[in-house]
Amino acid sequence: MISFIDFCDYTGTFAFAISGIRLASAKQFDWFGAYVVGIVTAVGGGTVRDILLNSTPFWTEQPSYLIISGLALLFVIAFRKYLVTLDNTFFIFDAIGLGLFVVVGVEKTLSFGHPMWVAIVMGTITGSFGGLIRDILINEVPLIFRKDIYALACLGGGLVYCGCMMLSFPPTPTQFVSALSIFLIRVVAVKYHISVPVLKGEE
Amino acid sequence: MISFIDFCDYTGTFAFAISGIRLASAKQFDWFGAYVVGIVTAVGGGTVRDILLNSTPFWTEQPSYLIISGLALLFVIAFRKYLVTLDNTFFIFDAIGLGLFVVVGVEKTLSFGHPMWVAIVMGTITGSFGGLIRDILINEVPLIFRKDIYALACLGGGLVYCGCMMLSFPPTPTQFVSALSIFLIRVVAVKYHISVPVLKGEE
Amino acid sequence: MISFIDFCDYTGTFAFAISGIRLASAKQFDWFGAYVVGIVTAVGGGTVRDILLNSTPFWTEQPSYLIISGLALLFVIAFRKYLVTLDNTFFIFDAIGLGLFVVVGVEKTLSFGHPMWVAIVMGTITGSFGGLIRDILINEVPLIFRKDIYALACLGGGLVYCGCMMLSFPPTPTQFVSALSIFLIRVVAVKYHISVPVLKGEE
């Protein structure tokens, strides 16, 4: 049986890959190109974190991320007409994955001996840079900088993690509370259309 | 005298750099900018591989890649009116280089103790990410995801390499057969306009 | 009291961050997105250098770069109507920072045992890749490849550094002369509209 953590990891990977594959399909990518964009969306954030930590990329340790991204491609091909009706489901999966990815990023960075503020930055990178690279690959201005609260939710979760540690919470509640806070920030921000103000231009 | 491997390496580097420089010139880049795009196209894939392997970038070991990219720039400046007539030659050079680069990527990854599937992924990255970064730099939707069979030829060559190893081929025939298979996949795909189906959008 | 080197470092970081934040505001980024673009512009070049050197990213050692980028964001928000009148000041700050960043990049690379030509390449990357990544993030064709002399000024400063070493200059004058040469190349190039010729296309 897979653990709860693995379940969240696979769910998030699937949702992240789906988002990359759908945006690639809107740009007329071929199947293989869409698959690559799906993988990069799913593992890109953690890969940038691992590069910055001088660590072996996490996805080289087991092929599950590539397999799940492949399943996401097949899912999009098979059910493309019904994808829009699943938007809310994908959103929930994405938010679950985001919470987990950030917490994993924070913990891995701390385990490398970095201070808390670096861990929060790395957690934010883990959660948000997959979507960032996705948007670069499809040649669009990155969505995470212009819509809803996404990268900021990662930062918020990192701060909650930091707060839990300062309050001497044990590890498991710390992980759970910070992942949950990211999930809730995302859900509330999207439901109530809360977003960061746009930076006004000079004219 | 240079070896056959070095000959393929330099030929491929030249062809990759030419492709970057030509696309940069279409975007009004200046000479130095075009040179940078040429270098990045030629060494970008191997550099991403080396970063992921936590290895020193291969091009820091000898300046030949920078010099060959410089020669490619001079070539484009001097012969720009005749470049179109050389398209077939560049295509052949590019396909030769692609075969070699993928095999080098697969072998380097295996020498770092990674399993075969990681080596195939790294070989594909070695062959295709230079063109990917090139297209990001010139601000275009990456061509390798939309046209002909390019990244998929790299993957195919990696699988052939894997097959040869399972059949206990000695190293040299394994290298030769897998590089040749990449070369042939590219030539056949372009000659007969074979491509991966486009992923249909949702409307 | 902060040293002269730190003063140049902070000044350059501030100017680089300002350039990223201003370009992000022109693309309707939100505050947090603009902040991220500011940070990446300021630390991106040094981060790419550190990744290529297999070194821990310099900005993880102290939070000053993130704080200065935050101050740059507040500055843009508070004084956006007067930013244009400060263009010359920002340009001078940017050129001071550029000189320092390149010299730091050259020295760090030499300290890792690389030959001089690799150090010059890494110095150029340190100075110019922040602006390059900035332009990729805001989805524009990179400015440094098309306007004024920017990356080439970094290369020039690296060559001056190399020349000073060959003439057996002591470290401090070598650093000062090469940083000053970058500063002067930038000022002269912009003041007299000197630029590298555009690479002509094929038609």
- A43 assigned to some structural domain: yes
When mean pLDDT is compared across A142-156, B8-22, C37-51, C150-164, the lowest value belongs to A142-156
- A198 assigned to some structural domain: no
CA distances to B47, B125, C52 from B50, in Å: 5, 10, 9
Query: Shortest CB distance from C139 goes to which of A141, A155, A197?
Result: A141
Neighbouring residues of C195: CB distance < 8 A, sequence distance ≥ 6: B30, C147, C148, C149, C189
Give CA torsion, residues B75, B79, B83, B85, to 10 deg: -130
Average model confidence (pLDDT) across chain B: 92
pLDDT-derived band at C203, boundaries 50, 70, 90 = low
* Per-residue DSSP letter, B197: P
Q: Which segments of chain A have a pLDDT < 50?
A: none
Three-point CA angle A43, A44, A47, nearest 5°: 85
User: Which residue on chain C is closest to A149 by alpha carbon?
Assistant: C32
pLDDT-derived band at C113, boundaries 50, 70, 90 = very high
Measure the CA–CA gap between B83 and B85, rounded to whole angstroms.
5
User: Which residue on chain A is closest to B200 by alpha carbon?
Assistant: A25
Q: What does the pLDDT read at residue C144?
A: 78
> What range defines the domain where residue C135 resides?
4-191
Buried b vs exposed e over C29-54: b needs ≥16 C-beta within 10 Å?
A: bbbbbbbbbbbbbbbbbbbbbbbbbe
User: B71 CB near a chain A CB, below 8 Å?
Assistant: no
List the subunits that have 3+ CB pairs under 8 angstroms with C: A, B
Could you tell me the end-to-end alpha-carbon distance of chain B, in angstroms, rounded to an integer?
59
Question: What is the rounded average pLDDT of the residues C6-19?
Answer: 91
Measure the CA–CA gap between B86 and C174, rounded to whole angstroms.
46
Q: What does the pLDDT read at residue A146?
A: 74
CA distances to A134, A145, A184, C35 from A153, in Å: 19, 12, 9, 15
- A124 assigned to some structural domain: yes
Burial class (CB in 10 A: 0-12, 13-18, 19+), A79: exposed
Query: Is the per-residue pLDDT at C201 higher than 80?
Result: no
Q: What does the pLDDT read at residue B201?
A: 73
Q: What is the 3-state secondary structure (H, E, C) of chain C?
A: CCCHHHHHHHHHHHHHHHHHHHHHHCCCCEHHHHHHHHHHHHHHHHHHHHHHCCCCCHHHCCCHHHHHHHHHHHHHHHHHHHCHHHHHHHHHHHHHHHHHHHHHHHHHHHHCCCCHHHHHHHHHHHHHHHHHHHHHHCCCCCHHHCCCCCHHHHHHHHHHHHHHHHCCCCHHHHHHHHHHHHHHHHHHHHHCCCCCCECCCCC
ipTM of this complex: 0.92
Query: Is the per-residue pLDDT at B1 higher than 70?
Result: no
pLDDT-derived band at C1, boundaries 50, 70, 90 = low
Measure the CA–CA gap between A146 and A129, rounded to whole angstroms.
14
Q: Which residues of chain B make contact with C136, given a CB cutoff of 8 A?
A: 136-137, 139
Give how many domains chain A has, as a whole number: 1
pLDDT-derived band at B203, boundaries 50, 70, 90 = low
- C199 assigned to some structural domain: no
Q: What is the 3-state secondary structure (H, E, C) of chain A?
A: CCCHHHHHHHHHHHHHHHHHHHHHHCCCCEHHHHHHHHHHHHHHHHHHHHHHCCCCCHHHCCCHHHHHHHHHHHHHHHHHHHCHHHHHHHHHHHHHHHHHHHHHHHHHHHHCCCCHHHHHHHHHHHHHHHHHHHHHHCCCCCHHHCCCCCHHHHHHHHHHHHHHHHCCCCHHHHHHHHHHHHHHHHHHHHHCCCCCCECCCCC
- B196 assigned to some structural domain: no
pLDDT in tens, C14-72: 999 999 999 999 988 999 999 999 999 999 999 999 999 999 999 999 999 999 999 99
Say which residue the tokens 């996404």 belong to. A150
User: CA nearest A50: which of A125, A117, A116, A115?
Assistant: A125
Mean pLDDT comparison of A8-12, B25-29, C129-133, highest-scoring range: C129-133
- C175 assigned to some structural domain: yes
pLDDT in tens, A67-121: 999 999 999 999 988 888 888 888 999 999 999 999 999 999 999 999 999 999 9
Question: What is the rounded average pLDDT of the residues C176-193?
Answer: 94
Query: Is the per-residue pLDDT at C117 higher than 90?
Result: yes
User: Which residue on chain B is closest to A141 by alpha carbon?
Assistant: B139
Query: Shortest CB distance from A145 goes to which of C30, C56, C57?
Result: C30
Where residue B113 falls (left for φ over 0; alpha for ψ -120 to 50; beta otherwise) is: left
- C200 assigned to some structural domain: no
Q: What does the pLDDT read at residue A203?
A: 60
- A31 assigned to some structural domain: yes
Query: Shortest CB distance from B152 goes to which of A32, A34, A47?
Result: A32
**B113: three-class secondary structure by DSSP:** coil
Residue with the larger pLDDT of the pair C86 and C52: C52
Q: Cβ of B170: how many Cβ atoms within 10 Å?
A: 8
Average model confidence (pLDDT) across chain C: 92
Q: Which residues of chain B make contact with A85, given a CB cutoff of 8 A?
A: none
pLDDT-derived band at C134, boundaries 50, 70, 90 = very high
Find out whether A68 and A14 touch, Cβ atoms under 8 Å: yes
- Best of A18, A30, A69 to disrupt the B interface (most B CBs within 10 Å) is A30
Q: What does the pLDDT read at residue A1?
A: 60
Query: Shortest CB distance from A151 goes to which of C25, C32, C136?
Result: C32
User: Which residue on chain A is closest to C21 by alpha carbon?
Assistant: A199
Q: What does the pLDDT read at residue A8?
A: 85
pLDDT in tens, B98-109: 999 999 999 999
pLDDT in tens, B116-137: 999 999 999 999 999 999 999 9
Query: Is the per-residue pLDDT at C148 higher than 80?
Result: no
User: A52 CB near a chain C CB, below 8 Å?
Assistant: yes
Q: Which residues of chain B make contact with A21, given a CB cutoff of 8 A?
A: 199
Q: What does the pLDDT read at residue C14?
A: 94
- Which residues numbered 144-203 in B keep a CB inside 8 Å of some CB on C? none
User: CA nearest A61: which of A75, A73, A46?
Assistant: A46
Three-point CA angle A65, A68, A72, nearest 5°: 135
